[in-house]
Amino acid sequence: MKRTIFYMGILGCLSGLINASMGQEVAKRTYTLAERSIKEARLNLPRQINTEDSELTRQVHDLYIACLFDKLWEPALPGLPYRFFSITGAGDESYGKCQLLWDPMFVLNAWAPLDDNQVVHDVFRNYWNVIDNNPEAPKGSYRYGMVPGVTNADLPQNGYSQIPILAWGCLMVFNQTNDRELLDLCLPYLDKFLTWYATERDVDNDGLIEYGAYKKCSIGDLVQTARFETFDFHATLDELQLTKHPTRGTGGEWYGNIEGVDQTCFLAISERAMIEMCKRTGRIKMMEKYERILAKRTEAVRTKMWDPETKFFYSLNRDTDKKIRIRTLQGFLTLAAGLASEEQAGELVRQLTDPSLFWSNYPVTTSAMDEPTFKPDGFWRGDMWPPTNYLIGLGLNRYGYYDISKELADKMLELVKKYDGHAYERYNGVEGTLLGVKDYCWGVAIWSMVVNTHYGVQEDYRTIVVPPHAKGRKLKLGKLEVSYPTDTSVELKTAFKREFKVVFPEKTVEIKVQCDGKTVNSANLTVTPNEATFTAMPGKTYIVSNDH
């Protein structure tokens, strides 16, 4: 079956093609795998990632090897001066060897336990190099701070961006590694990028984010290029139009007339991450700025995008605020971003788990199954994607729907087992049959879902939600070790100082915390009816038990 390659404008990064804008043929570039780094990662994998289940551990290791270990490349000058991850491997020519914007964040989240901080730094440095050295976006221009959706080895770079979760990806790594150098490297540039996004993609300054593009890519007109900033063939974008800036009076028709739930949520996810990273590093003024921005964005989403009649979040026409009433997975991203109220979350989960809407045999479909535009294998029109399922799972955990999140993770793991340990780019949204590229890089997000649900380790890698019937489970994930001696106790070890919060969703009688066999001093412990919070020191063993 011929593979679909219309994914976020990726064809614009293929090398060895005719450069239409320059009218000349570009010499085919060769790329070199980062063999030394890959070898070290292979050696570290069994040391750093293990479970009590040898078969599960083998499947996880195979997933790492297939999805990551032939996708790390040496620098490719001038556009990629540092090592980078491509989305497909050395033997797959369906996509170009380049660095996308949101895909590597799922890769780095999984890479973090492998004890190779410098690879993480390199990936982010490629993004920051674009900010510093993009001749089409000099400091002081409208485009300054933009990170393109595709970072190419060859110049010039593309004139559109993509899903802005770089700050979230940075925080996910830091939560696992405690790499302060990473935050010092990234925070100034993340501030530039998010400032650009919040300015250039919210032209009416109402807190809701649009789409746009400064120049067309090689495979689509300017409108289609703007669609590549998000779920490019989503039905909510069918009527997208580009206009001039409504107040600035200069520049081209670069600005979309649709305010998207998706991009607004993704930006909020990164802004929430910025607040946390600024707090950790003492950047109080920057933290307060993002707190104000996030509060405004939350209010705008809850009041303008929520439809009280159908109990769902919809994208809007920028100029009229008219809702585009097509139910897609966009609505559930408000859970991942923490933008939905508790009442709104309950209504969303009701529809999420409705088998006539989104809860298919292998959920979550990218469009509700009762929409006229639904196609189970349609590109963002009914198919199913691992990274969006992962984010929806995080949202379910955020609002306390742990059982549903686990069911979602189990469905994804079932697909990996069904297809001989391999993860694919996407799947048929009803039957789970294969679509897209085999061993796509973000397949490792399925393992991240298992970490969250099966082992109870939440996205901050500090909160542990004790799963039901967990006795005997053990996880080593880099600098964190979690095991369950009984169904009502958890043993924790950390390689760096970490504030743990252990949550018992079931009824508790009394929570006790011990460190190396001694009761933890009350001065270092906060206990509520269902949770305990304490500061753990490296090299110590902590046992938190619930006398159920």
* 278, pLDDT greater than 90: yes
As given in the structure block, the two tokens for residue 525 are 């412990």
Task: Please report the pLDDT score of residue 316 as a whole number.
Answer: 98
For residue 525, report the phi and psi dihedrals to the nearest 5 degrees.
-145, 135
CA geometry: angle at 112 spanning 110 and 117, to 5°?
145
Task: Please report the pLDDT score of residue 235 as a whole number.
Answer: 97
Q: What is the pLDDT of residues 75-91, one digit of tens each?
A: 999 999 999 999 988 88
What mean pLDDT is predicted for residues 229-243?
97
* Residue 256 CB burial class (10 angstroms; 0-12, 13-18, ≥19): buried
| Angle between helical axes of 284-300 and 261-281 (0-180°, round to 10) | 160
Q: Would you call the peptide bond into 135 cis, given omega within 30 degrees of 0 as the criterion?
A: no
Task: Please report the pLDDT score of residue 288 as a whole number.
Answer: 98
* 26, pLDDT greater than 90: no
Task: Please report the pLDDT score of residue 135 as a whole number.
Answer: 92
pLDDT band at 95 (very low <50, low <70, confident <90, very high): confident
CA distance 426 to 102: 16
Mean of the per-residue pLDDT values of the chain? 93
CA distance 322 to 428: 31
How far is the CA of 188 from the CAs of 172, 391, 409, in angstroms? 17, 26, 35
Q: What is the largest CA-CA distance in the chain?
A: 74
Q: Which of 25-29, 285-289, 460-464 has the lowest mean pLDDT?
A: 25-29
Task: Please report the pLDDT score of residue 27 as a whole number.
Answer: 65
Cβ(170)–Cβ(273) below 8 Å = yes
Domain ranges of the chain: 201-343, 463-546
CA distance 236 to 191: 29
pLDDT band at 354 (very low <50, low <70, confident <90, very high): very high
As given in the structure block, the two tokens for residue 512 are 């006790």
Q: What is the 3-state secondary structure (H, E, C) of 292-349?
A: HHHHHHHHHHHHHHEECCCCEECCEECCCCCECCCCEHHHHHHHHCCCCCHHHHHHHH
pLDDT band at 548 (very low <50, low <70, confident <90, very high): low
The beta strands (E) that lie in 380-530 are given as 424-427, 434-438, 463-465, 474-477, 480-486, 489-494, 498-503, 511-515, 518-519, 525-528
What is the fold of 463-546? Immunoglobulin-like (2.60.40)
Q: Would you call the peptide bond into 437 cis, given omega within 30 degrees of 0 as the criterion?
A: no
Q: What is the pLDDT of residues 147-205, one digit of tens each?
A: 999 999 998 999 999 999 999 999 999 999 999 999 999 999 999 999 999 999 999 99
* 271, pLDDT greater than 80: yes
* 249, pLDDT greater than 90: no
* 372, pLDDT greater than 90: yes
As given in the structure block, the two tokens for residue 14 are 């293929």
Question: Nearest 10 degrees: CA dihedral of 212, 216, 219, 223?
Answer: 40
CA 376 distance to own-chain centroid:
23
Higher-pLDDT residue of 116, 250: 116
Task: Please report the pLDDT score of residue 19 as a whole number.
Answer: 38
* 228, pLDDT greater than 90: yes
* Residue 366 CB burial class (10 angstroms; 0-12, 13-18, ≥19): buried
Handedness of CA 278, 275, 123, 439 (dihedral sign): positive
- Give first-to-last CA distance, the chain, whole Å: 55
Percent of the chain with pLDDT over 70: 95
Task: Enter the DSSP assignment of 384.
Answer: B
As given in the structure block, the two tokens for residue 479 are 């600098």
* Whole-structure pTM value: 0.95
The enclosing H or E element of 118 equals helix 117-133
Residue 200's closest CA among 128, 147, 265, 135? 147
CA distance 293 to 539: 39
Q: Is 438 helix (H, G, I), strand (E, B) or coil?
A: strand
Task: Please report the pLDDT score of residue 24 as a whole number.
Answer: 43
What mean pLDDT is predicted for residues 505-519?
90
Task: Enter the DSSP assignment of 238.
Answer: T
* 219, pLDDT greater than 90: no
pLDDT band at 96 (very low <50, low <70, confident <90, very high): confident
Task: Please report the pLDDT score of residue 28 as a whole number.
Answer: 78
* 432, pLDDT greater than 50: yes
For residue 239, report the phi and psi dihedrals to the nearest 5 degrees.
-105, 20
* 394, pLDDT greater than 50: yes
pLDDT band at 250 (very low <50, low <70, confident <90, very high): confident
